[in-house]
Structure 1
Amino acid sequence: MGEAIGAVLPLAVGVSLSPIPIIAVVLMLATPGGRTNGITFVLGWVVGLAVVGTIVLLVSGGAGANDGGGPAPWVGIVKLVLGVGLVALSVVQWRRRPREGDATLPAWMTTIDTFTPVKAAGLGLGLSAVNPKNLLITVGAAAAIAQTGAGAGGAAVALAVFVVLATIGPAVPLIIDVALGDRSAVALTGLRGWMAAHNTAIMCVLLVLIGVKLIGDGVTVLTT
């Protein structure tokens, strides 16, 4: 179990530091009923990560090791494909980056003040389970757990650790809001501005680092 938890830690950090979900929660907190929407967003986020990870683990079943006790070849192939996909995604995002000084954010962020708790939960679910970057990393995390050959209990604990750590980023604005109350506005505005300005750079660095790690892991599995 310890090996499985260690394998998902860097992947969880990559999901947790996604700028767009963090900015979305910050914007929600500035609207009427924002704290409720922020909480339901985070709950949707957790459900999305848990569902994707669980599906991958169920599909992998007991296929986490070969006859010699090492990782099955499919694990190496999956990691290699995911790693290449993340690196390719980083290249695409970098080439599409906005011009300097133009911190363009998704158009749906302009409608956040109209969100209901249900819509906020759906957004959290979508950004964690459907967003290509997070989907690829979560699948990679589940594959890493399967690679260790951990039992059902150990795999469940490792996935839970991944989900919790991957949720810290989107939950930070809520923690700041609760801890500072009315004084949180300045801190949250600064956080939103910084992450919006550096969104593409943060994402590309994370994608490349995690992609290279997955490629290396995949090559290791396939050549041993």
Structure 2
Amino acid sequence: MLDVIGDVLALAIGVAISPIPIIAAILMLLSKNAGASSIGFGIGWVVGIVAVTGVVMLLSGSIHTENAESSTAVSTTKIVVGALLVLLAGRQWQTRSDTSVPKWMQAIDQLTMPRAAALGVALAAVNPKNLLLCVSAGITIGTGGLGGGQEVVVLLVFTAIAAISVLVPVLGYLVAADRMSGALATLKNWLLANNHAVMATLLLVMGAVVIGKGLRGL
């Protein structure tokens, strides 16, 4: 089990340091409806990560056997996912000079808790960058040869690490809102300015890691 946790650790960190969800959480914490919207977003973010990773884990585990054909299929899938991550890295790098605020971020100040939760799910389960990282983690866990209980443990560890960058600011703000406002605003501005460059580097590294794992299985 520890080997599988080690394999998904980098992927979890990749999800955790994805700038867009962090920026969204910070914007909610600086909005007039900070408490409700940020809590909803945090819940949706966790649900989205668990849903995608868990479903892929179950599907990949159900088709994984010890024969060479299935092993080749799993390895090929990892290579394809890794290649998609590398392609996304290239797109992010090409747009690294774009520091404009997406339109959906401009409406964050008006979000209710349910809508914020839906946004959290979407950024985890629909956003291509995070989706591919969660899919890769699900494949790794599902094909790791673990028992059902061990798979759940690894899934929970992955989710805890992947969600920490959103949950920590939310929980910290609820405890010490006044002291965190200035730091959150500074972090938001830095992430907006460097979002594409950070994501390009992250996706390139994650893509190379996933491709390497796929090649080792061929």
Q: Equivalent residue for 1:84?
A: 83
What amino acid is aligned across from residue 86 of structure 2 in structure 1?
V
Contact 1:63–1:72 (8 Å) recurs in 2: no
Structure 1: gaps spanning 5 or more residues: none
Contact 1:66–1:73 (8 Å) recurs in 2: no
- Which residues of 2 match residues 10-89 of structure 1 at below 5 A? 10-67=10-67, 72-89=71-88
Matched position secondary structure for 1:105: coil
Between 55-64 and 103-112, the greater mean CA deviation after superposition: 55-64
Q: Equivalent residue for 1:201?
A: 197
Between 133-142 and 147-156, the greater mean CA deviation after superposition: 147-156
- The whole-number CA distance in structure 1 between the counterparts of 2:177 and 2:34 is 13
Contact 1:48–1:129 (8 Å) recurs in 2: yes
Between the aligned residues of both structures, percent identity stands at: 42
- The whole-number CA distance in structure 1 between the counterparts of 2:80 and 2:196 is 23
Q: 1:135 aligns with which of 131, 142, 155?
A: 131
Structure 2: gaps spanning 5 or more residues: none
Deviation at 1:179, TM superposition (A): 4.0
Q: 1:158 aligns with which of 154, 158, 162?
A: 154
Deviation at 1:62, TM superposition (A): 4.0
Deviation at 1:146, TM superposition (A): 2.2
Is 2:121 the counterpart of 1:125?
A: yes
What amino acid is aligned across from residue 66 of structure 2 in structure 1?
N
- The whole-number CA distance in structure 2 between the counterparts of 1:130 and 1:89 is 14
What amino acid is aligned across from residue 83 of structure 2 in structure 1?
V
- The whole-number CA distance in structure 1 between the counterparts of 2:199 and 2:57 is 26
TM-score, normalising length: structure 1: 0.92
Contact 1:45–1:167 (8 Å) recurs in 2: yes
Deviation at 1:180, TM superposition (A): 2.8
What amino acid is aligned across from residue 60 of structure 1 in structure 2?
S
Deviation at 1:44, TM superposition (A): 0.5
Contact 1:63–1:146 (8 Å) recurs in 2: no
- The whole-number CA distance in structure 1 between the counterparts of 2:32 and 2:124 is 24
Contact 1:98–1:104 (8 Å) recurs in 2: no
- The whole-number CA distance in structure 2 between the counterparts of 1:176 and 1:197 is 24
- The whole-number CA distance in structure 1 between the counterparts of 2:148 and 2:135 is 17
Point out 4+ residue stretches in structure 1 off by more than 2 angstroms: 61-65, 96-99, 178-181
Q: Equivalent residue for 2:109?
A: 113
Deviation at 1:160, TM superposition (A): 1.1
* CA-atom RMSD in angstroms: 1.7
Between 2-11 and 133-142, the greater mean CA deviation after superposition: 2-11
Aligned pairs, how many? 218
Contact 1:66–1:72 (8 Å) recurs in 2: yes
Contact 1:87–1:211 (8 Å) recurs in 2: yes
Deviation at 1:65, TM superposition (A): 4.3
- Residue-by-residue CA offset, 1:26-48 (whole Å, 9 max, x unaligned): 11111222122111101101111
Q: 1:104 aligns with which of 95, 100, 104?
A: 100
